[in-house]
Amino acid sequence: MSSALDLGGVPTRRGRGPLALVLALLLLAALAAGGWWWWSNRDPGPLPAAEAFVTAWNAGDPATGPVAGTPAGVRQRHEDLLVGLGLDAPQVTLTAVSEPVEDSATADLTLRWDLGGDRDWTYDTQADLVRGEDGWLVEFSPAVVHPELTEDLRLTTRRTRPERADVMAADGTPIVTDRGVVEVGVQPSRVEDVDALVDDLRDLLDITADDLADRIEAANEDAFVPVLTLRDAAYAEVEDDLFPLPGTVFRRDEVPLAPTAEFARALLGRAGPVTAELVEEHPQRYAAGDFVGLSGLQRRYDEQLFGLPGLQVVAVPTDDAPDDTEEVVLHDVAAVDGTSVTLTLDERVQRAADATLAGETDHPSALVAIRISDGHVLAVANGPGTGGLDIATQGQYAPGSTFKVVTTAALLADGLDPNATVDCEGEAVVDGRRFTNAEDGARGQIPFREAFAESCNTTFVGLAGDLATDALATAAGWFGLGGDRTLGIGAYTGSVPENEAGTDQAAAAIGQARNLASPLAMADVAATVARGAHRSPALVVDPDPQDPADEQALPDEVAATLQDLMREVVTDGSGSALATVPGDPVHGKTGTAEYGDETPPRTHAWFIGYQGDLAFAVLVAETEDSFGGRVAAPLAADFLTRLAG
């Protein structure tokens, strides 16, 4: 019986092959179809939805992500929460997503807000996710933005102004610091006669007041219409006449000011109410009402002087919140007060320099003084004729015959004997170009030292051909001309390129051609002669300290000879205007640089020199056919006399 079962019950291999294969293939196809249906229709979980929401939020609009509710509604809620916050959108990071419990899950988020000034605010929050018919969605609520936010609160910021720091002198005295002022204004409701008041104000305050009447008439009757801000001392001079005028009103304040209105004005610049342009450019640093540097050194170093504003992030009640809703301070960053900028300016020397140039209204003028022993710049003055420009440190002018100090250094290093006889003829012609002396003077055969004292152009033009074409550029480097140190203010140190033989070198030898320098650079030349070595000048010593090892000696015997020659300029030459200045002997060099196409040509008048431990340069630019000995030298004498007084 068993055998029959075996035979009858178990088909042979040939008998079962085709049928079994077909059945197996059908079974596999069915299983594959069912698996694909299961795989394609399985729930991917909340993670992709959380990731998509974070991506949308980081792109600036969380409503474009998978959110519950309408995108427009979510977008409006998001905007309502942040209105008035004043911060860029946060950087959102997804840190974890919980395992789903039925149809809900939770996403852990980290938010980082940039508060400006390398400061940020970072905290953790959560977002709830729900599973709907179309998959997982984020339920956006105020708590997603911050866990302490509710429907009755929104975010805002409060700003704390830092204390502006002073500009200090190296001796510890303040240069720019808070000083008392009086704001003169008009209250329209108190004005009896607008035109009469404007005329009186124009006369008393020496202002144009072109639009003042229109501003008074257009203003609210109780408004404060600003007219002018006066220092306390200036207000005291006009108070008796100004105060009784019907309509005038006054506000006292303190603002950062230098000792006087003229004190190194172009260099220091000014501080005042921040402009709309600066607020737009630096919204995290400035806000309306801030007092900031607007020009000059105060603008250049404003980031340091101004400091960093403090910032509170506060949850405040919405407009329709219950009356008992309280605000919540979520984050508080203290203001960081500014730190001082320290300069080498000396108040006494600067005041003397300012006073010296006060009357030079017709031409651009400048005066720079350097302490020889340490290279500290003690005064940077620009006259009224400069139009507010700082030509003292950044002007680019041909140095004229003051450059003969450099040319003489090159000649001495090349072997010139200062007592050698040289030609000082009325003219010298080089490659067809005619060179003459001031007022066509001629002295014939004279010692070189006399030619230097009288600034004989034809002598230097004749000797220039004996020098290598790179000799003047090399010698200029001994005096710091063309150096890379900008003193923290972008100062111009000059340019003396290598010359071409012939007229280019001849003109360069007398400070013309392509030679350029600032008054600061030429004061540095005088200081170098006095100390016998070049030491880079210093002006901003904090945050720009000078390298104490920065000193390079002049070639042997060059300094001593130049010192003698510059003394003879004052005692027996073109700088005689300083011969009777009180105090130590004065050494100097006059200079006149021609420019332009006029006949006679316009000129820049120079004088550089030193007395005791003080080196200086004076420039009166764009004069009408004048000379350094006639214009700049008397100003130098006045400056030294003021210091001696």
Name the DSSP class of 500.
P
- Specify the DSSP class assigned to residue 443: -
Cα–Cα distance between 73 and 172 in angstroms, integer? 61
Q: Can you name the residues that pair with 434 across neighbouring β-strands? A: 429
pLDDT tens readout for residues 539-559 = 999 997 777 667 899 998 999
Q: What are phi and psi of 596, to 5 degrees?
A: 85, 180
Rounded (10°) angle between helices 194-205 and 232-242: 140
pLDDT, position 34 = 45
Q: CA-to-CA distance for 159 and 273, rounded, in angstroms?
A: 17
The CA distance from 462 to 424, in Å, is 9
Q: Domains in the chain, start-ordered, CATH in brackets? A: 67-152 (3.10.450.100), 178-257 (3.30.1390.30), 347-644 (3.40.710.10)
Q: Is 234 exposed, middle or buried (0-12, 13-18, 19+ CB in 10 A)?
A: middle
Helices vs strands, H then E, count in the chain: 22, 28
Residue 72 forms beta bridges with which residues? none
- Burial class from Cβ neighbours inside 10 Å (0-12, 13-18, 19+) for residue 98 reads middle
Which residues, at least 6 apart from 383, have a Cβ–Cβ distance to it below 8 Å?
Answer: 357, 358, 360, 361, 363, 364, 365, 366, 620
3-state secondary structure 384-398: HHHCCCCHHHHCCEC
Contact 402, 591 (CB under 8 A): yes
At residue 112, the pLDDT reads 97
SS (H, E, C) 31-97: HHHHHHHHHHCCCCCCHHHHHHHHHHHHCCCHHHCCECCCHHHHHHHHHHHHCCCCCCCCEEEEEEE
Distance CA 29, CA 31 (A): 5
Find out whether the peptide bond into 246 is cis, omega within 30 degrees of 0. Answer: no
Residue 381 structure tokens = 């003055």
| CA distances for 287 relative to 281, 300, 495, angstroms | 11, 19, 42
Averaged pLDDT, groups of 10, the chain, 645 residues long:
32 42 47 43 86 96 95 94 86 97 96 88 97 94 96 93 96 96 97 96 94 96 96 96 96 95 96 94 90 96 95 94 95 95 98 96 96 97 96 98 98 97 95 88 93 96 96 97 91 96 96 97 98 96 78 94 98 97 97 88 96 98 91 98 95
Predicted pLDDT at 549: 62
Q: Tokens 């000649």 — which residue?
A: 411
- Tell me the sheet residues that pair with 307: 337
Q: What is the pLDDT of residue 118?
A: 82
Q: Where are the beta strands (DSSP E) in 425-561?
A: 427-430, 433-436, 444-447, 533-535, 540-542, 551-553
- 476 touches 405 (CB < 8 A): no
In this prediction, residue 84 carries a pLDDT of 79
With CA atoms as reference, report the closest residue to 365 among 352, 374, 376, 356: 356
**Would you say the C-alpha torsion 358, 355, 344, 257 has a positive or negative sign?**
negative
Computed on alpha carbons and rounded to an integer, the radius of gyration of the chain in Å comes to: 40
Element (H, E) at 475: helix 471-478
Cα angle, residue 330 at apex, residues 325 and 331 outer, rounded to 5°:
150
Count of C-beta atoms within a 10 Å radius of residue 309: 21
Largest CA distance in the chain: 155
Q: How far apart are CA 569 and CA 452, in angstroms?
A: 7
What are the structure tokens assigned to 480, written together?
Answer: 């710091």
> In terms of Cα–Cα distance, which of 188, 250, 230, 190 is closest to 213?
188
Evaluated on CA atoms 74, 79, 85, 86, the torsion sign reads positive
Q: How far apart are CA 524 and CA 402, in angstroms?
A: 12
